[in-house]
A and B are shown apart, each in its own frame.
Chain A
């Protein structure tokens, strides 16, 4: 079985700064894989490097067995779509939901947009009543649903999720996580998901990689988090921090 997504010793350099120092990861088809780490660990940079949004200095990225070149072609974006962290920043403020969802279809020359848009909105739990609204007329959770609909409308096989719920309230986070699980099950999607929240990754992913300062610290199965079967000190610290504040003494 060929892996859905392979990153092999990927390096990303911004001017003099090495944001990613040779990170490798392989995600199997249908798997949900998590990337955890603190700010500056390079977890989002890895996602952006795969999506073609960060300059890859060396190393290779392979999607569904096909190595990627310097530029991503249209076919790539039919397979791989991304959902960003900030639902306030990732939707065009002067486009209606309808127009936002039209855009990827127009770029890829796909017809029957009417049907597809209606179906996409239904799938993410927004009725057609939302279709002609602007993003400022939506709540954070609704916006993130639109962003997910936009990613799904091209029927990709891989979704890159960059902190999809960290800007949302806890109750809304639960709804969006449930939605993501639902569509993954329905469409047999592969997820590569970034989060700083270990509990979210533990809930959503089967395997995960812990990152720090642009390097992979360790790879774990979600069950290892539950049983605290972790080798690296940094992971232990993250685990401890996720349990909340403990008063000294």
Chain B
């Protein structure tokens, strides 16, 4: 204890080793987390080797021979005639999902937070959360029943109202696929995703609002100048984290929504790999594609983080 006081008093920075010894109890608390990270996130990284090897289960990861050339599976991926199409489709779906799906929960949270009616608030929250608990299979089933070209609910309503005749072409038009995919996703997740922002909003100091009211600020002005800036750090962090999963378009939903008409827009990396690779137990190819996705995600997360830093909006590191 005496040493600590002496060193701190002298203003010298402590070396890491000394710091660990000195604050060993605190570092001990850190140990479980670090161990878990090493065990489950760093040690398995050596499995990436599969992407560069002709993996054989019997020989194991280290024992399998290197593929010739080493980048054989990457070459195969990039030389697939469909690769540009599936990459484009993947990026369209993920960026569109991010653009449409990211701001709306924030707006919903701000609206719910500013609403004076407690009961009304609760009802809106429950209704918007509910779709989150419906499984993807059911959601896709609902989409098909609602938008079915000649027998669907929507086409029947439009026919009854005299607004349309003939078939509803939504499911039969490739261009409509991204909209259907993204907006059904927004509908399903908007309520659930707004929870974290509502949590952040509940922490906003009430005195700020009181002071603003005294100064004559309108409701909208308070949302813009108090609520929004308060949750901005949360928004930025979530934005950075979301950009790190840009290549991970949900496989099940896309796969289930595919039909003969929309594959030109709906074939994404995950569904394509499933069709040509996973079912055929092509571990090396799957690992190569997984690694490619991770590298793109990694680059994205660094770019967005740097951008956010530049704009002085906070960052992950």
Do they bind each other? no
A residues near B (Cβ < 8 Å) are none
